[in-house]
Amino acid sequence: MKKIFIDIDDTILDFKKDSIEGLGKVYRQYHIPVTNETIDVFKAVNQRLWKSYELGELDSEAIFNQRFGLIFEQLGFEIDDIREVDDFYRQTHIDAYSVLPNAEALLQALFSDYKIYGVSNGKTGRRRLHQAQLSHFFDGIFLSEDMGYQKPQPQFFEYIASKIPNYQKEQVIMIGDTLTSDILGGNQYGIPTIWYNPEELENHTEIVPTREVKQLMEIPAVLMQLFN
């Protein structure tokens, strides 16, 4: 049976929404204004650190130990316990499970024809999919924190392959919203990739997805084309 590796955060679950809502709680707790500017500082720092994680330059603990120190420094606020702030931030959305529009409909459309495997460069995807009552659509969930590898490392995909019975590489497609982890990882591993790009972002990288979609419900037709 054909198989799909599908990213969890911001492809199935609306992690951006949940994380920004959690950030607002942190800022209010520490009396920092919640504005577009202060949110953008978080986004820039957070994105830079997670890019380093994808490159294997940092582990997640290093991110948690410095992230809010860098953010508060840029905002001009002093902080005594950086890790305490980060723990509070992650606790605010550890059980958040906002589902992207049409994500459940997509899983329902794919469920009978494909084996579906959720993949994530995080540690809470399994819990949050369960909270969202979507776990039953998945034949397996693979998280970087459990595996010791992260997208886009080839070892991430090789580990998953080693855990799937009757695995055949030519019967797998990777779907995700992030060029530098999902698409680059799939490309480097040698499988077709579908870039979910709802915001119609311009691709300024040399990373080329096999196909690009703007809406989740475009994916079933694209899969049929790629597998045939």
Looking from the CA of 212 toward its CB, the CA atoms found within 13 Å total: 13
Question: How is 50-81 classified by DSSP, letter by letter?
Answer: HHHHHTTS--HHHHHHHHHHHHHHHHT---S-
Under 8 Å between Cβ of 226 and 206 = no
Other beta carbons within 10 angstroms of residue 144's beta carbon come to 23
> Of 7, 10, 18, 177, which residue is the catalytic one?
7
Q: Cis (ω within 30 of 0) for the bond into 152? A: yes
Active site residue 7: yes
Q: Is 81 exposed, middle or buried (0-12, 13-18, 19+ CB in 10 A)?
A: exposed
Place of tokens 């970087």: 144
Rounded CA-CA distance 211/4 in Å is: 14
Which of helix, strand or coil describes residue 162? helix
Alpha carbon 215 to its chain centroid, in Å, reads 17
Under 8 Å between Cβ of 4 and 173 = yes
Which of helix, strand or coil describes residue 150? coil
> Of 9, 14, 18, 177, which residue is the catalytic one?
9
**Annotated catalytic sites, by residue?**
7, 9
